[in-house]
Homo-oligomer: A and B are copies of this chain.
Amino acid sequence: MNTQLRIAQIAPLIERVPPKKYGGTERVVYHLTEGLVARGHDVTLFASGDSITSARLIAPVREGLRLGRKEHSPLITTMLMLAQVYGEMADEFDIIHSHLEYVTFPFAVHAKAPTVFTMHGRLDIDDYAAILRRYRHLPLVSISDNQRSPVPDINWVGTIYHGYPPSSFDYNLHPDDYFLYLGRFSEEKRPDQAMMLAIACGVRLKVAAKIDPVDREYFDQRIKPLLQHPLVEYVGEVDECRKRELLKNARALLNTIDWPEPFGLVMIEALASGTPVIVRGCGSAPEIITGGKTGFVCNSRMDFINAIREIDTISRSRCRQEFLERFSADAMVRSYESLYMDLLPDRRLESVLQPERRPEPLHRLLGRPAGAADRS
Contact = CB atoms under 8 A, between A and B. Distances in A.
A105 interface: yes
Tallying the copies of this chain within the complex gives 2
Given A106-B107, A107-B106, A110-B110, A134 B75 contact: no
Given A106-B106, A107-B106, A110-B110, A80 B134 contact: yes
A128 B87 CA distance: 18
Nearest to A73: B127
Interface in A152-209: none
A83 B106 CA distance: 8
B77 A134 contact: no
A130 interface: yes
Interface in A118-174: 125, 127-128, 130-131, 134-135
A106 B81 CA distance: 12
Nearest to A129: B76
| Chain A facing B: main interface SS | helix
A102 interface: yes
Nearest to A61: B127
Contact of A80 (B75, B83, B125, B130): B130
A87 B109 CA distance: 10
A353 to B, nearest CB: 16
A72 interface: yes
Contacts of A110: 110
